[in-house]
Amino acid sequence: MARHFSMLRDFQLADWFTLGNAFCGTGAVFAALNFMQDGRISVLLAGMGLIPLAFIFDALDGRVARWRNSASTLGRELDSLADVISFGVAPAALAYACGLRGGWDWLVLSYFVCCGVSRLARYNVTAESLSGDEGKVSFFEGTPIPTSLVLVVVLGLAAVQGRVGPAIWGGVWQLGPWQLHPLVLLFALSGSLMISKTIRIPKP
């Protein structure tokens, strides 16, 4: 008979670090929603601060897995799902909360998240195809999704200066029926770099 919470009982130590990553990303999304409700900048900054913490968890889970020789397919899938939340959905939600809410912004932020999902799916397939004798991917195709931390830092600097909402850096353009905030183009660039097949970054 299966034990209660048997799946959790089977988690390795590294998997708990991965869940810490997902926990931080989810907290950042909630902080973005809370800021939109009551406008407290301290809540928004706290949410942004969770993304670097998620990055630390993301870096540690791989190191712990190698230290304990406990790397697994489950761990890789958990890592990708956590990264989608912390470095895909959360940065987009924080950007939206900061004021990137035009129709074109919505499309760009959705594009960014889809690029992150596609990037991680491609990595998992590549890792699976190379899981032969060495079982290790030697390089990243496209920039890794945690590089979106840079976008959160930019948003954080804007928030500290009070440049959110109508005062967001770069102002706003009216393009046809929808608005576009130029700052959102950083998300378009980040997403495009993630899905690039010509950029190859050595994997440590």
128 band by pLDDT with thresholds 50, 70 and 90: low
pTM: 0.88
Q: H helices then E strands: how many in the chain?
A: 8, 4
The pLDDT score that the predictor gives to residue 1 is 47
5 band by pLDDT with thresholds 50, 70 and 90: low
Superfamily of domain 12-202: CDP-alcohol phosphotransferase transmembrane (TM) domain (1.20.120.1760)
Q: Residue 21: which of 55, 62, 71, 66 has the closest Cα?
A: 55
Domain residue spans in the chain? Answer: 12-202
Could you read off the pLDDT of 62-113 as tens digits, one per residue?
777 565 565 566 667 888 899 999 999 999 999 999 999 999 999 999 999 9
